[in-house]
Amino acid sequence: MNSALTSPDAKFVLLKNLNPLCHKGGERDGLLATLSWDQVKPTITESVKLSGGDPSKGLVYGPDAFGLSLPQGQTPTERLREELESSGEYDFVDTRALARSEGWERYEAALVAQARSMIDWNERNQFCPACSRRQYSLWGGYKRGCSSALGVAAEGSEFAKPFLPPPHRSFKEDGKGFCPSTKVLSNFCYSRLDPVVIMCIISPDGEKILLGRQKSWPKGMMSCLAGFCEAGESLEESVRREVFEEAGVGVGAVIYHSTQPWPFPNSLMCGMMGVAIEGQDKIRLDLDNELEEARFFTRQEVLEALSSSTSNFSKDDLAKIDEKVRKEMEEERKAKGISEEEWTKTVEEREKTEIRRTSLRLPPPSAIAHTLVASWARKEAVIPLPPKGKM
């Protein structure tokens, strides 16, 4: 792994607040930027020294590609971050708002998803859940172990010293006692992955699909319903529970479609197709009040939205558009001399009226919700047939 780390072919994906480093300006504007070992070597070796390690004794990392987090307010990573941002050639971009991410190579998209999830997990799990001692990273960052195991494996190890609180010279002296994770097989220290179901729910007659929106989304923005799987549930059971909780709709047949890693921070989106039960397809939003609106859209409405340019905007892009509209309306209010309270009521009534007039906007092609909706609308998906009716 040391050879891979220092190889001329090694690539380093840099993240600031989990946002990847991208090119800024030129033909590669918005595309992923990676650095070589020579570009990050001073930062990594100095970081190792500051943590009490010795770079001359070898650095152990994973093969081929590496993730490097650049948190603010910490040296030497702070210096590297400032150099990159001040150069004018790079920028750290929120992946969800990155319009050009759709044009990334699949390898690069997967690389960022992997780096983002693993860095987030390593940064959030600094202490052993069994004894509260500091953990250390191993297996190239894919596993974390209790630092007390270092004392068991090699008494007086130099590698263990940075994990010992002064003035203790061994883990036997730190007062935390025996750590059970060092003696039993456990899953304390492996990265987590949270399964999420996201579903395209088809009307009983097969001609419409159920879409919903949260209040925080831009007007007209609709997507598939989604939710986390709970303990003891199958994917199919999760689909039925989530749809009923959010929209009050009963779901019968459910079938798997596809999956997508969603590293915000560590979800796996499980795309599903389901059919609403006839007589149980009346929508109600008062069960958990998560959605502001939900309704069934016809195939023609969805096809028109898919061909519309607004479907290529991310939620952040659309939010910026709506912010511009709000500013224009505020200028209109001041020009008419209407009070804020009266104007707020006017705007709310206008939005309630216009929300259904607003053209349907769908998630961008980089999102699995778009894939699910498009596969149904274009009759490309294999979907579970209901007892009656045709798809």
The model's pTM: 0.77
Domain residue spans of the chain: 1-124, 125-192, 194-312+347-377
Do the beta carbons of residue 192 and residue 331 sit within 8 Å?
no
What span, in angstroms and rounded, lies between the C-alpha atoms of 249 and 199?
13
CA distances to 45, 195, 235, 389 from 265, in Å: 28, 12, 20, 41
Closest listed residue to residue 120, CA positions, set 61, 183, 44, 69: 69
325: which residues sit within 8 A by CB, 6+ positions away?
none
For the chain, what is the mean pLDDT? 83
Q: Which tens digit of pLDDT belongs to each residue from 259-309?
A: 999 888 889 999 999 999 999 999 999 998 899 999 999 999 999 999 875
Q: Which tens digit of pLDDT belongs to each residue from 144-201?
A: 988 888 876 655 566 777 788 778 777 888 888 888 888 877 767 888 889 999 999 9
Cα angle at 377 between 206 and 280, to 5 degrees? 30
Do the beta carbons of residue 354 and residue 219 sit within 8 Å?
yes
pLDDT tens-place values along the chain, 391 residues long:
677 777 888 889 999 988 999 999 888 888 899 999 899 988 888 877 776 666 555 444 434 678 888 877 667 788 888 889 899 999 988 876 655 566 788 888 888 888 999 999 998 999 998 899 999 888 888 889 888 888 766 555 667 777 887 787 778 888 888 888 888 777 678 888 899 999 999 999 999 999 999 988 887 899 999 999 999 999 999 999 999 999 999 999 999 999 999 888 889 999 999 999 999 999 999 998 899 999 999 999 999 999 875 555 555 665 666 676 677 778 887 888 888 777 776 666 655 544 444 578 898 888 899 999 999 999 998 877 655 544 4
What span, in angstroms and rounded, lies between the C-alpha atoms of 72 and 79?
9
Cα angle at 214 between 213 and 217, to 5 degrees? 90
Amino acid at 91: D
Going by CATH, does the domain composed of 194-312+347-377 fall within 3.90.79.10? yes
DSSP letter at 326? H
DSSP letter at 127? B
DSSP letters along 31-76, please? SB-EE-HHHHHHHHHHHHHHTT--GGG-----SSEEEEE--TT-TT
